Chain A
Amino acid sequence: MIEVKNITKSFDGKTILHDVSARFFSGKTNLIIGQSGSGKTVLMKSIVGLVRPEKGEILYDGRDFLKMSDSQIKSLRQEIGMLFQGSALFDSETVLGNVMFPLRMFSKMTRGEMTDRARFCLERVNLAGAESKFPSEISGGMQKRVAIARAIALNPKYLFCDEPNSGLDPKTSILIDELLHDITHEYNITTIINTHDMNSVLGIGENIVFINKGHREWVGDRERIFTSSNEALNEFVFATRLFQEVKDYIISTGHARQRSTSAES
Chain B
Amino acid sequence: MVLVKSLEQLGKYTLFLCKTFSIPDKWRTFFKRTVQEIIKLGVDSIPLVIVISLFIGAVITIQMQLNVTSPIIPAYSVGLATRDIVLLEFSNSILCLILAGKVGSNIASEIGTMRVTEQIDALDIMGVNSANFLVLPKIVAFVIFMPVLVVFCIGTSFVGGWGVAAFTDLISVSRYVYGMQAFFQEWYVWYGLIKSLFFAFIISSVASFFGYYVKGGALEVGKASTNAVVSSSILILLFDVVLTKLLLQ
Residues of A within 8 A of B (CB): 48-50, 73-78, 80, 82, 84-86, 88-91, 101-102, 104-106, 160
Find out whether the CB atom of A88 lies under 8 angstroms from the CB atom of B124: no
Report B105-140 CB contacts with A as 1/0, cut-off 8 Å. Answer: 000000000000111011011111000000000000
Docked complex Cα distance between A77 and B25 (Å):
14
B residues lining the A interface (CB < 8 Å) = 25-26, 29, 117-119, 121-122, 124-128
Tell me, in angstroms, the Cα distance from A85 to B119 when the chains sit together. Answer: 11
Other-chain residue from A50, A73, A90, A104 in contact with B121 (beta carbon distance below 8 A)? A50
Q: Is the CB of B29 within 8 A of A88?
A: no
Residues A104 and B26 in contact in the complex (CB < 8 Å), given A50-B125, A74-B127, A80-B125: yes
Residue numbers in B under 8 Å from A75 (CB-CB):
127
Q: Which residues of A contact B29 (CB under 8 A)?
A: 104-105
Instruction: Specify the chain A residue showing the minimal Cβ separation from B113.
Output: A91
Q: With A104-B26, A105-B25, A105-B26 as known contacts, state yes or no: A48 contacts B118, CB within 8 Å.
A: no
Chain B residues with CB under 8 Å of A84's CB are 118, 121-122
- Residues from chain A with Cβ under 8 Å of B26 in the complex: 104-105
- Are the C-beta atoms of A82 and B25 separated by less than 8 Å? no
Known A-B contacts A104-B29, A105-B26, A105-B29; A86 and B118 likewise in contact (beta carbons under 8 Å): yes
Secondary structure at the A interface, as helix, strand, loop or mixed, is: mixed
- Chain B residues with CB under 8 Å of A105's CB are 25-26, 29, 126-128
Which residues of B are found within 8 Å of A102, using beta-carbon distances?
126
For A91, list chain B residues within 8 Å (CB).
Answer: 119
Number of A-B contacts (CB under 8 A): 47
B65 → chain A closest CB, angstroms? 48
What are 13 pairs between A and B in contact, CB < 8 Å? A50-B121, A76-B127, A77-B125, A84-B121, A85-B118, A88-B117, A88-B119, A88-B122, A90-B119, A91-B119, A102-B126, A104-B29, A105-B25
Q: Which residues of B contact A160 (CB under 8 A)?
A: 125
The minimal Cβ–Cβ distance linking A194 to chain B, given in whole angstroms, is: 13
Chain A minimum-CB-distance residue to B129: A74
Chain A residues contacting B117 (CB-CB under 8 Å) are 86, 88
What CA separation (Å) do A89 and B120 show in the bound complex?
10
- Asked if A78 and B125 make an inter-chain contact with CB atoms under 8 angstroms apart, the answer reads no
Chain B's closest residue to A160 (CB) is B125
**One of A48, A86, A89, A90 near B125 (C-beta < 8 A):** A48
- For residue A109, give the distance in angstroms from its CB to the closest CB of chain B: 13
Complex Cα–Cα for A160 and B125 (A) = 10
A49 to B124 alpha-carbon distance, docked (Å): 9
B164 to chain A, nearest CB (A): 43
Contacts of A73 in B (CB 8 A): 127
**Alpha-carbon separation in the docked complex, A101 to B118 (Å):** 16
Shortest distance from the beta carbon of A47 to any chain B beta carbon, whole Å? 11
Per the bound structure, the CA–CA distance linking A77 and B118 in Å amounts to 16
Measured CB to CB, the closest approach of chain B to A11, in angstroms, equals: 12
Task: For the complex, give the distance between the alpha carbons of A80 and B121 in Å.
Answer: 13
Q: Are A50 and B124 in contact (CB under 8 A)?
A: yes
In the bound assembly, the distance between CA atoms of A160 and B118 in angstroms comes to 14
- In whole angstroms, how far apart are the Cα atoms of A88 and B128 in the complex? 15
C-alpha spacing A74/B127, complex, angstroms: 5
Chain A residues positioned under 8 Å from B124 (CB to CB) = 49-50
Min C-beta distance of A79 to chain B, whole Å: 9
Q: Which residues of B contact A49 (CB under 8 A)?
A: 124-125
Assembly CA distance A58 to B118 (angstroms): 23
Closest to A102 in B: B126
The answer for the CA separation of A151 and B158 in the assembled complex, in Å, is 55
Cβ contact of B127, chosen from A85, A89, A104, A106, cutoff 8 A = A106
- A106: which B residues are within 8 A, CB to CB? 126-127
Do the beta carbons of B127 and A82 come within 8 Å of each other?
A: no
B121 CB to nearest A CB, Å: 6
